[in-house]
A and B are shown apart, each in its own frame.
Chain A
Amino acid sequence: MGLFADLRDSVSRVTASLFADDSEPKRIGIYGPPNAGKTTLANRIARDWTGDAVGPESHIPHETRRARRKENVEIERNGKTVTIDIVDTPGVTTKVDYSQFLDHDMEKDEAVRRSREATEGVAEAMHWLREDVDGVIYVLDATNDPFTQVNTMLIGIIESRDLPVLILANKTDLDDANIQRVSNAFPQHETIPLSALEGENMDEVYDKIAAYFG
C-alpha cells in the first residue's frame, strides 16, 4: 500500500513537473517556530520586490494565524528574473496554551480566540506542507537553541518530501545570535545568516532563493 501510494505520488509529481507551465511560479513556504521572524522576512521580500507588505509582525507569538500568500514576487538576479509565490505561515508548535497570551495584557476571550486561530493556522500550515508547497524557507531565531523537536520533525518532514530547503539563521543583529549553532544543527543543509529586521545580508538570501527555487 505505502509503496504504491509513494510510487503514485512520485509519478504524479514527476509528470506534474514535466508538464508544468514554466510561467507557473513556485510556491515557497516560509516555515519555522513562532517568533522566528518569518513575517518580518516575508514583508521584507515583498517590499523589496513588489512594494507592499504581507502582514503584521509582533513580538507576541502566534501573530500570524492564517497563512498569507504574496503572489508573483519577481526577484531579479544576474539579469534573470525568478518568479515565486511566498506563503508566510503561522509558527509551528505542538502545543498552544491560551494562558500564555494573558501575560501579554490580553483579556481571556481574546486570548482564547487567539489560541484557537493559532491552532487552526498551524493545522492548515502542516497540511499545506504535505500537499501544496514546492520549496521551503525555514527561518530560525539564531539566538535560540535550534535543537528542538519541532525543528527536527519539520526538517524531517521537508526532507521526506524532497522539497528544496534553505535554512535562515535570523536576528544576526542581536549579540547572542549564534549562526554556527544553527549550521551545526542541520549540517545537511545550507544555512544563511541574516537580519530580516535590519535587512542585513539580504543579497545573499536573494541569490540563494534564485538558485534554489528558480
Chain B
Amino acid sequence: MPETTSSSGDGPQDGVQVDLISTERMNGKTSMEKIRLILDSVREGDIVVLESGLTPDEESKLIEVTMSEINPDGFSGIEIESFPQSETSNTTLLGRLMGAQETSKLTVIGPANQIQSLHKDETLISALISRQ
C-alpha cells in the first residue's frame, strides 16, 4: 500500500511515498519555490498531489526546469495530470489584472520512469505506479 504523508521526506526504498500538498502550504511561495518543492519530491521517487495546481506560467516553468534536470542515469522527466480548470476560472490577462484568483485544479505529478500509466477522465485521475 502506498504510504500517505503530508510532507516530503525519505520514503522507504520499497514503498511509494505520496505527498498531498495543500493550497495553504503553497500559498506565499514563489513560482520557483513551488517548482523546487515539486521536483525535489519527484526526483526522490515520490508522487506529488497539489490541492490547487499551478498557474499556466508555473506549468511552463515546470516543463522548462524538468527538461534542464533530465539526465540519462537517473531522471527521465515527469508525468503530470490535472483536472481541467473549472468554467468559472479566469486566467485571461484581464482576469489576472482584476486580481482574480486561480480556481483550484487538483494536479498529480510523478516521476516518468515509475509511473506506468496516468489516466484521467472528467472526474478521476488514476495512476499506476511500478514498484522498483
Name A's B-contacting residues (CB within 8 A). Answer: 2-3, 6-7, 10, 92-98, 112, 115-116, 119-120, 122-123, 126-127, 129-130, 149, 152-153, 156-157, 159-162
Contact = CB atoms under 8 A, between A and B. Distances in A.
Interface stretch (B2-10, B15-23, B55-63): B55-63
B112 interface: yes
Interface in B44-58: 55-57
Nearest to A122: B67
A98 B56 contact: no
Nearest to B91: A160
Interface in B83-132: 84-85, 91-93, 96-97, 99, 112-113, 120
Given A122-B63, A123-B68, A156-B56, A7 B82 contact: no
Contacts of B55: 160
A contacts with B: majority SS: helix
B122 to A, nearest CB: 11
Contacts of A120: 67-68
Contacts of B120: 149
A126 B63 contact: yes
Contact of A6 (B66, B81, B93): B93
Contacts, number: 97
Nearest to B107: A149
Given A10-B93, A115-B72, A92 B59 contact: no
A92 B63 contact: yes
B63 A119 contact: no
B97 A7 contact: yes
A98 to B, nearest CB: 5
B35 interface: no
B92 A119 contact: no
A94 to B, nearest CB: 5
B77 A97 contact: yes
Nearest to A90: B67
A119 B67 contact: yes
B99 A96 contact: no
Contacts of B97: 3, 6-7, 10
Interface centre among B59, B63, B66, by most A CB within 10 Å? Answer: B63
A77 B57 CA distance: 35
Contacts of B60: 126, 129-130, 153, 157
Given A126-B61, A153-B59, 14 more contacts: A6-B96, A7-B97, A94-B77, A95-B79, A96-B76, A97-B112, A119-B70, A120-B67, A123-B64, A152-B82, A153-B80, A157-B56, A159-B91, A161-B56
Contacts of B61: 126, 130
Interface centre among B67, B76, B99, by most A CB within 10 Å? Answer: B67
Contact of B80 (A7, A116, A129, A149): A149
A112 B73 CA distance: 10
B92 A159 contact: yes
Contacts of B65: 123
Contacts of A162: 92-93
